[in-house]
Structures are given as structure tokens and as C-alpha cells.
Amino acid sequence: DVKVTQSSRYLVKRTGEKVFLECVQDMDHENMFWYRQDPGLGLRLIYFSYDVKMKEKGDIPEGYSVSREKKERFSLILESASTNQTSMYLCASSLGFGNQPQHFGDGTRLSIL
């Protein structure tokens, strides 16, 4: 079974802090994704990566950056956290694009105070 592990289940940070969310997958998947889930808005794609050191913006990249130095690890960075970034963050990986399902981690509930 695919295992996608997010480093923290719950995280509380302060406005203006630089925040790192880490994600690791163990199935040698090429593609990795970061989403945020908010009530009534579903899953919105922040960034994705299709190879080491490669990244693509999703629908809502503003205020975020990502890093993929190794194939199994994909980090989401909040450069200067703001209260509107309080959300559930979900990491996913997939073997390919189009016709392959994405496998999700359990999410990080991030609160920015």
C-alpha cells in the first residue's frame, strides 16, 4: 500500500512566521501535490511537482512556495504566515498524471494566530 506521511497532524503558528509542512511518500511516485481544504471550497491545488527540483503552480500558489530536493519528499513553505492560511493541508502523490489516482496523507490542520 502507498504510504504518504505528513510530518504533523496539528500545527499552531503565529502571523508572520515562516512555516514548513513536510510530506514523504514511500512508493517512488514521480508526482507530488499540495492541496488545502476549506469548508465549502473543496480541495484546491496549491503546487505540484512532477520530478525532483521541478514544480508547477496550481490554482492558489500565492503566499506559498515548495521544495523538492529528493523524489520522496515534497515540502510546502508559507513564507510569512497569515491568518487566512489557517486550513487543512493535504499532500498527495501519484505514479503518473492523467489516469492514475492520487494517494493522500492524513493532512495537517494548521492554525495561524
Partner 1 sequence: DQQVKQNSPSLSVQEGRISILNCDYTNSMFDYFLWYKKYPAEGPTFLISISSIKDKNEDGRFTVFLNKSAKHLSLHIVPSQPGDSAVYFCAASASLQAGTALIFGKGTTLSVSS
Instruction: Pick one of 45, 60, 77, 95: the residue that binds partner 1 (CB under 8 A).
Output: 45
Contact pick of 19, 21, 33, 75 for partner 1 (by CB under 8 A): 33
Contacts of 43 (CB under 8 A, 6+ apart): 35, 36, 37, 90
Q: Could you tell me which residues come within 8 angstroms of residue 55 by beta carbon, excluding any fewer than 6 positions away?
A: 47, 48, 49, 66, 68
User: 76: which 3 cell numbers?
Assistant: 510546502
Which residue lies nearer to partner 1 by CB, 48 or 81? Answer: 48
Interaction site with partner 1 (CB under 8 A): 4, 9, 33, 35, 40-45, 48, 50, 56, 58, 90, 92, 97-99, 101-107, 109
